[in-house]
Amino acid sequence: MKRSCYTDSQIMAILKQTEAGTPIPAVCATIVVRATSVRKFRRSTTRCYVLALNLQQ
């Protein structure tokens, strides 16, 4: 599996900005990241969150 170019803290900062309402193109302009990467981060963290909730129940 390919290693990520971004650290976990960078990914969390990107996700916090998008959750705060900053448009994805604006986040991509400030932090040099592709829009597809941001969407991939959102998908993977959402899956992890759902799995964690299911394990707690």
CB 54 within 8 Å of CB 30: no
Give which of 4, 56, 9, 8 is closest to 34, Cα–Cα: 4
Cα–Cα distance measured from residue 56 to residue 29, given in angstroms and rounded to the nearest whole number: 38
* Secondary structure of residue 22 in the 3-state scheme: coil
Entry pTM? 0.65
Give which of 3, 22, 2 is closest to 13, Cα–Cα: 22
| Per-residue pLDDT tens digits for 4-17 | 688 878 888 888 88
Other Cβ atoms within 10 Å of 14 Cβ, number: 22
pLDDT band at 53 (very low <50, low <70, confident <90, very high): low
